[in-house]
Structure 1
Amino acid sequence: MSKNKIGTLEAIALILSALAPFTVISISRTFINELKSSALLNIIYISIICTLIIYFIYVLFKNFPGFDIIDISNYIGGSIFKNIIGFVFIAYFIITSAMLLRNFCEGLKVIYYPYTDITYIILLFIITITIANKLGFDSTIKTTTLIFPFLLVSILLLFIGNLSNFSFEKMFPFMGDGFKKTFILGLSNIGSFTGITYIYFIPPLLKKPEQFKKICLLSIILSSFFILICVATLLFMFPIYINTDEIMPLFSVSRNIEFGNFFQRFESLFLLIWSISFCCYLSISLKFANCIFCKIYNLSDASQTIDIISILTFVIALLPHNYSISYFFETYIYRFITIGIIFLGICILLLSNYKKKKVGE
């Protein structure tokens, strides 16, 4: 994927890049609309489960140092099985990236460009990520590592800057609509931790493979903290149900931040940071899709197919006729697809470990 290996901090930033756009656009609103006052409890619960899942993935990877999930698929079932799994991951990365891009651009259109055709806004992002991927994966990783601290600070400022506007009683009753809604139906929020899907491709990229465990656990901890702060900010600020017409509710929250008379109107700066983070996410996802495609067809030069992947993403992003369709996908479908991909990877790892143990016997 990259001739140069990446360090521990870069790997953590790469994994977290998958979470940021989904959180900023809608996941925080979805948590509150579905779980109401028990949203914070559910995040803690899901974070513990995802920590166990990611540790289990780490343990299963230990027998295959330097392998990614595509290499392991080849070990299990040869080139045919590798190709099938490869195309599943390609479809996942391209379709989800395209739909999230559509939603993010819908938000930009409403906020800043109400008279601009959505096609041109999407095209601007597609051109940007195509150029970024042609410049090389290393530049994207370094940009992601640089921008993520700013993204985290922006979310913390949203929370701290609105403390005076919070109504903390909204976290009660702590169990919300009850045990079943919080702990059973709420399991669907495992799909909010989308960075787990990136972990399947991290091992071959690492400078220090022995840091893989640390990367996995720190990524989940930071992801949990990131989601918790975003959801808490909205929960304490908004009514218990956030209307679907409220595009990018975190942006609405940012308009209330003021630090004296000289530091006001932070929302434009926040949106710039979020836009750069979103470009990093798109670049990484499409780079993974492109590299999987090249691995399937044994192409030595990944730059040959970047344009095709970008055009396909652009076309898919234009398919929804309106915001309601892309919103439905992101809210009700995306998380379940992600859960499916996570457990598909776990099944592949289990089969590979079983085969290796059987061969060893």
Structure 2
Amino acid sequence: MIREEKIGHREALTLIVILLTAKIFLSFPRNLALLSDAAGWITVLLAGICSLIGWFFLNAVLAKYPELNLVEIAQKVTGGWIGKIIGLLITVFFMFLTALYLRQFAESFILAILPHTPISVISLAFLFLLVYANLLGIEILSRVAWLFGPYLVAALILIIGFALPQAKLDYITPALGPGVLKVIRFSFFEISSFAEILLLGIIAPLIRKREKRFRVGVYGLILATLINTALAAITVMVFNYVATQGLIFPALQLSRLISFGEFFQRVEALFVFLWFFWAGIQLGGLFYGSVTSFAQTFKIEDYRPLIFPVAVLVFAVSMIPSSMTQAVQWSGSTSELAWLGYSYSGVAFGIPLLLWCWTLIRGKVGGNS
């Protein structure tokens, strides 16, 4: 049932870019400022470059088994119980990210436009959206991403462009923030910001033109790095890094400052529109990774019967953080729970590297035999 769906390479590219950039609407710019002061944009730029290396290993594994996705490759290469453990790790990875972003987007909507609405109501509304999207299938979700994606990116670029007149280059000094060594160390930590690229390892067999899969990953990471870097830089140049550290959602505050004479104001209405579609597509993609990884770990042909049970579990996990602050800490982008950030990177980039080494060793052993 999973293999019946097919995705064009353009749709896959747009879906991946949205997954990798949705965090800019949350506390991501603030977390960068907390880590690297004025050099947050350099940190995310270096992290994006490092994530390209991780994609090379993931693509190398996928290229050896073009008919299989990462979960199936893990079971084929490592065998029974080890393959199942890897499959469950990938399932938990996607499920936890879905729950985490569900909670953060719900909290952000309450703070921005619905201050008196219970958190559970907003979360259930988003949950209904991602359940419906997955009942339709990843093919429909990717087409929606391709349909709205270019307009969403164009609107975001417009917001950044209108914010430029208020930017001050002095605010991104000292350029290297806390120092060269710390910026480099934090950039390795921020590789977790690109961990969602792992979804490409799940949907790779569904992409019609297999020769385009490598480009989808490379272009997706490059575009996401540029977008994340641009927003991180413009936020600091408008507010300075000290003020950015105190803003929960810097991108929302940025949109509120934009005005063009007396005729173009209140741009946050456009921002909320962007917010909603970006969140819906990202949550739908991550949730798809959860249910399909679980289904393929236990060799279940159709993932759709798993949608409602997994949705209940995702909702329950999203309610565990006691506050927005704790939900932000669970994202692993702050020093309080840094081990979570390394865990995301370990699953997204460590598992493909492990499988690549495993296949390399098996190939040499098989050749010698």
TM-score surpassing 0.5?
A: yes
Deviation sequence 1:49-108 (CA, Å, 0-9, x none) = 222332233234332222221111112222322211111111111111111211111111
SS at structure 2 position matched to 1:264: coil
| Alignment partner of 1:345 is 2:343 | no
Query: Matches of 1:52 and 1:296 in 2, distance apart?
Result: 26
Mapped contact 1:8–1:208 kept (Cα < 8 A): yes
Alpha-carbon distance in 1 for matches of 2:17, 2:24: 11
Q: Which runs of no fewer than 5 residues in structure 2 stay unpaired?
A: none
Give the match's secondary structure for 1:202: helix
- 1:199-237 per-position Cα deviation (integer Å, ceiling 9, x unaligned): 322321110111122112111110111111110121111
C-alpha change, 1:186 and 1:242, in structure 2 (3 Å) is: farther
**What is the CA deviation profile of residues 185-212 of structure 1, one whole-angstrom value per residue up to 9, with x for unaligned ones?**
3320111112322232232111011112
Give the structure-2-normalised TM-score: 0.92
Which residue matches 1:194? 195
Superposed displacement of residue 338, structure 1: 1.8
Residue type at the aligned position of 2:322? H
What residue is the counterpart of 2:44 in the other structure? 43
Show the counterpart of 2:171.
Answer: 170
The answer on 1:247 being equivalent to 2:225 is: no
Deviations 1:153-189 (A, max 9, x none): 2321222101111111112222211112111233201
| Larger mean Cα displacement after TM superposition, 222-231 or 57-66 | 57-66
Q: Is the 8 A contact 2:244 2:250 kept in 1?
A: no
| Residues 2, 144 of structure 1: alpha-carbon distance in 2 compared, 3 angstrom cutoff | farther
1:204 & 1:356 partners in 2: Cα distance?
Answer: 22
Counterpart amino acid of 1:348? L
Q: 1:88 is matched with which residue?
A: 89
> Contact between 2:44 and 2:187, CA under 8 Å: does it hold in 1?
no
Match of 1:131 in 2: 132
Q: Structure 1 residues 44, 291: closer, same or farther in 2, change over 3 A?
A: closer
TM-score (norm 1): 0.94
Match of residue 356, structure 1, among 341, 363, 368: 363
Residue 57 (structure 1) aligns with: 58
Whether the 8 Å contact between 1:98 and 1:313 is mirrored in structure 2 is yes
Aligned length: 361
Cα deviation, residue 245, structure 1: 5.8
Unaligned segments of structure 1, at least 5 residues:
none
Given that residues 32 and 242 in structure 1 are in contact (C-alpha distance below 8 angstroms), is that contact kept between their aligned partners in structure 2? Answer: no
> Are the counterparts in 2 of residues 13 and 145 from structure 1 also a CA contact under 8 Å?
yes
Q: Structure 2 vs 1, CA of residues 335 and 141 (structure 1 numbering), >3 Å: closer, same or farther? A: same
- C-alpha contact 1:2 1:138 (8 A) present in aligned 2: no
* Residues 42 and 229, structure 2, Cα contact 8 Å, conserved in 1: no
Change (3 A) 1:47 1:137: closer
Contact kept in structure 1, 2:101 and 2:283, CA below 8 Å:
no
Give a deviation string over 1:244-292, Cα, whole Å, max 9, x none.
6633210111112223433321211221222111111111111121112
AA aligned to 1:345 is P
CA-atom RMSD, angstroms?
1.8
Whether the 8 Å contact between 1:159 and 1:233 is mirrored in structure 2 is: yes
Q: Cα offset for 1:242?
A: 4.1
Identity %: 22
**Comparing 284-293 with 150-159, which one deviates more in the overlay?**
150-159
CA contact (8 A) 1:156 1:229 kept: no
User: What is residue 8 of structure 1 aligned with on the other side?
Assistant: 9
In structure 1, the partner of 2:341 is 335
Q: Which residue of 1 aligns with 2:22?
A: 21
Matched with 2:275 is: 274
Q: Are the equivalent residues in 2 in contact too, given 1:61–1:349 (CA < 8 A)?
A: no
Contact 2:35 2:186 in 1 (8 A): no
**8 A contact 1:155–1:229 mirrored in 2:** no
